[in-house]
């Protein structure tokens, strides 16, 4: 009777713990990146019964109670749901995002990140997201354009913090390449291109071709005038002249106009050679094109995250550059992680130290695909959890009944001894 009493009590405790865990799973069914907890039980002690009959060994023991052996979490991925923010990202496969509060590093599957008022990349509860900075920001200016950033070592990851204001420095035009057919008629042919000066202002480069009075016996000779001026034409910065000659077939032979000043910066003018640039061919249709380098300055329009977990800075001049990369951590034993919150975990001796996946060249890589504009939902299955809750409730009721029955038996035994 006493054994039944304590067996029932241990059953009540373990059933209640399991109900609490299942109820917590159901409460977090809408929590981003939540991993469902599972509870494992073990017997306290068992008394072995000896029997000569051919009986299943399980029936030859009498249990004296149960206990909670461990609480782990399911590693099954949750479903993905679409969002409207590029800073919402989800992991397709194995891996964890690293987040930090003070010196405490935690790991999560919840990728509902955002840029706070200081343009620091944080979680919804204010933890800093860890990754590798691009190193291409000096003060409030972008020092270089980076297409992709390589992850630093695991112990070198840092908080991804970006300036609120960031300028894309102007890049003056240094080269202008022209191509086209100026024909053979004695008319003025004009072509132009937009060019950037050292101040980041956009100006106008215009080329005018007119036939020279002294034409060679074969081919043709043209005078060329180049002018750089403001877009409104009110200010002329420089004027250069030269000659350009073509052979009998119309291919370019020589050009004496090589460069021009653009409000303090020099532009190299490339008219090509042979039939690879400017030509003089007797055709009715004429076309021309120009290719110039240089970029006007721009101000920060915003930060986004792409499918490579790169933080991308976009500027008002249309330019973009990667400025940081979110790290993706891996563990030898994911189930060894210890839960510290709904979706956050910390490493333990069972999980091992966090590591990065490397490619064949020893370069750190994410080790999983990333989807932006998506979030990983909780992996809790409502129907399974509700069924489990019903089973656990019945287990609780059965253990409660065994306690009350044992109590009644003890009471009857006391009454019998008293009488």
pLDDT score recorded for residue 337: 93
Cα atoms found within 13 Å of the Cα of residue 416, Cβ hemisphere only: 6
Q: pLDDT of 364-386, one tens digit each?
A: 999 999 999 999 999 898 888 78
Read off the pLDDT of each residue in 207-215 and give the average, rounded to a whole number: 94
Q: pLDDT of 214-269, one tens digit each?
A: 999 999 999 999 999 999 999 999 999 999 999 999 999 999 999 999 999 999 99
pLDDT band at 96 (very low <50, low <70, confident <90, very high): very high
Portion of the chain with pLDDT greater than 70, in percent:
88
Q: pLDDT of 291-317, one tens digit each?
A: 999 999 999 999 999 999 999 999 999
pLDDT score recorded for residue 310: 96
Please say if the pLDDT value at position 210 is more than 90. Answer: yes
Please say if the pLDDT value at position 59 is more than 60. Answer: no
Mean pLDDT of the chain: 88
Please say if the pLDDT value at position 54 is more than 90. Answer: no
Domain 175-292 has CATH 2.60.40.1930: no
Please say if the pLDDT value at position 197 is more than 90. Answer: yes
Read off the pLDDT of each residue in 18-39 and give the average, rounded to a whole number: 86
Please say if the pLDDT value at position 325 is more than 70. Answer: yes
* CA–CA dist 15, 177 (Å, integer): 79
Q: pLDDT of 114-147, one tens digit each?
A: 999 999 999 999 999 999 999 999 999 999 999 9
Residue environment code for 149-159, b if the CB has 16+ CB neighbours within 10 A, otherwise e = bebbebeebeb
Q: pLDDT of 164-187, one tens digit each?
A: 999 999 999 999 999 999 999 889
Q: How many residues are given for the chain? A: 419
Domain residue limits, the chain: 2-75+378-418, 80-168+299-376, 175-292
Rounded to two decimals, the pTM is 0.77
């Amino acid at each position: 009777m006493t054994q039944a009493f304590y067996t029932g009590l241990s059953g009540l405790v373990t059933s209640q713990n399991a109900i609490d865990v299942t109820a917590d799973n159901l409460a977090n069914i809408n929590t981003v990146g939540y991993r469902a907890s599972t509870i494992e039980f073990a017997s306290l002690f068992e008394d072995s019964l000896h029997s000569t009959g051919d009986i299943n060994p399980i029936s030859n023991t009498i249990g004296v109670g149960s206990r909670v052996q461990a609480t782990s979490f399911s590693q099954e991925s949750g479903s993905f749901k679409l969002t409207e923010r590029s800073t919402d990202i989800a992991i397709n496969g194995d891996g964890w995002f690293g987040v930090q509060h003070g010196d405490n590093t935690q790991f999560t599957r919840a990728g509902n990140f955002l840029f706070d008022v200081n343009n620091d990349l944080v979680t919804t509860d204010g933890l800093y997201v860890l990754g590798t900075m691009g190193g291409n920001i000096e003060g409030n200016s972008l020092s270089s354009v980076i297409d992709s950033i390589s992850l630093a070592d695991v112990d070198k990851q840092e908080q991804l913090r970006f300036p609120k204001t960031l300028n894309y420095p102007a890049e003056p035009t240094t080269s202008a390449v022209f191509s086209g057919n100026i024909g053979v008629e004695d008319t003025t042919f004009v072509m132009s291109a937009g060019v950037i000066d050292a101040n980041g202002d956009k100006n106008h480069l215009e080329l005018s071709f007119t036939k020279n009075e002294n034409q060679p016996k074969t081919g043709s000779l043209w005078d060329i005038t180049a002018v750089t001026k403001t877009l409104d034409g009110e200010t002329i910065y420089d004027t250069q002249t030269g000659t350009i000659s073509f052979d009998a077939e119309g291919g370019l032979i020589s050009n004496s106009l090589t460069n021009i000043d653009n409000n303090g910066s020099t532009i190299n003018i490339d008219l090509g050679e042979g039939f690879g640039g400017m030509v003089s061919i007797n055709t009715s249709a004429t076309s021309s094109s120009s290719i110039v380098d240089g970029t006007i300055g721009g101000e920060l329009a915003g930060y986004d995250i792409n499918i490579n977990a790169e933080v991308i800075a976009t500027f008002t001049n249309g330019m973009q550059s990667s400025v940081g990369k979110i790290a993706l951590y891996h563990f030898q034993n994911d189930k060894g992680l210890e839960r510290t919150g709904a979706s956050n975990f910390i490493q333990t001796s069972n999980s091992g130290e966090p590591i990065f996946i490397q490619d064949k060249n020893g370069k750190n890589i994410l080790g999983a695909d990333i989807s932006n504009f998506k979030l990983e939902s909780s992996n809790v299955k409502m129907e399974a959890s509700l069924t489990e809750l019903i089973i656990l409730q019945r287990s609780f009721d059965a253990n409660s009944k065994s306690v009350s029955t044992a109590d009644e038996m003890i009471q009857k035994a006391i009454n019998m001894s008293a009488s």
